[in-house]
Amino acid sequence: MSIHIIKLVSGEELIAKVLDEGETDMVISDVIIMVPVQLDEEGTTSIVFLPWMVHADIEDGVCIKKTHILCSPLPKKEVADKYKQAISNIIQPDTNLQF
């Protein structure tokens, strides 16, 4: 099992655990949609994690056809860490804190 960013042909960018991958489909779990947001008028942007398919029972995973996936790269470490924090019930400290 590994964490991947999944870019769908619809334009959605998901981050999820890949449980299984076959020739024609991918089974993912703990799916979060990544939404870019503009923070200020200068154009500074950030990414917000939001639940995906909130009204569906997909706790055991959901199957996505590969024809709906543009690419599925591994995330940068900081993004993977934030994802793990988002799906965890344990609050993890920020490793970039300076004293």
Contact call for residues 89 and 21 (beta carbons, < 8 A): no
Is 99 a member of any domain? no
Range of the domain at 27: 2-77
Is 10 a member of any domain? yes
Q: What is the CATH number of the domain that holds 64?
A: 2.30.30.100
Is 68 a member of any domain? yes
Domains contained in the chain, number: 1
pTM of model > 0.85: no
* Per-position pLDDT tens, the chain of length 99: 899 999 999 999 999 999 999 999 999 999 999 999 988 888 888 899 999 998 898 888 999 999 999 999 999 999 999 999 999 865 555 656 554
